[in-house]
Amino acid sequence: MNFDNQEEEGQYKLIYSYFGLAIYLGQGLEDTIANMVWIDRLIKKTARRDDLPKLIEAIEQSPVETKILTEEVGLSYFIPDAKVELINVVLNKKKYIGSKLFKVEQDKLYSEEGRKEVLEFLSSYIEEIDGLNDPLESYYDNYKDLYGVTQEKIAQLSDELDIE
């Protein structure tokens, strides 16, 4: 769907479609980071039964916790500092998009040029997340190889948490 060929109503629909996709992908990235932390803690036997929901909540709510947890992922999964910083930036943009974008940028929605700018911002954000997916998967694959992580091992370690 081309923005320039849309009537005003179509432009709004396009913006909100990109907004929905941006939030969805941002939440996926938050969940990925939380899962990576949780799996690392499982392997190192420092995980607790209720860690995963708490990790997701911490990432969603607190930029400070997000930074701490992404740095933990960076250290455990041997992710370069620049990539860890990019993950932090992208996660913080998701918070901005979800809670402030339409408050801060509302005046832009009154002009076609402003709507286009908001759409370009959302599109750029989506591309940033897409650019992180393959590298994160690669770091996770390397981690699995290093520690012999399998679905069965994760299930076993997770079951052990329920026993304790």
Total tally of structural domains belonging to the chain: 1
Inside any domain, residue 88:
yes
Q: Which pLDDT does position 164 carry in this prediction?
A: 46
Consecutive H or E run containing 69? helix 63-76
Amino acid (1-letter code) at residue 43 = I
| Residues 55 and 90: beta-carbon distance below 8 Å | no
Record the tokens describing residue 97, joined without a space: 């998009």
| Residues 91 and 66: beta-carbon distance below 8 Å | yes
pLDDT along the chain (164 residues), means of 10: 76 93 95 92 83 84 88 96 96 92 89 92 96 94 92 85 58
Inside any domain, residue 45:
yes
Q: Which pLDDT does position 162 carry in this prediction?
A: 64
Domain that holds residue 86: 7-163
Inside any domain, residue 19:
yes
pTM: 0.86
Inside any domain, residue 31:
yes
Distance CA 105, CA 100 (A): 8
Widest distance between CA atoms in the chain: 61
pLDDT tens-place string over residues 24-41:
999 999 999 999 999 999
Distance CA 164, CA 100 (A): 42
Return the ∠ at Cα 37 (arms to 35 and 40), rounded to 5°: 105
Inside any domain, residue 11:
yes
How many residues are recorded in the chain? 164
Inside any domain, residue 96:
yes
Tokens 């700018």 — which residue?
117
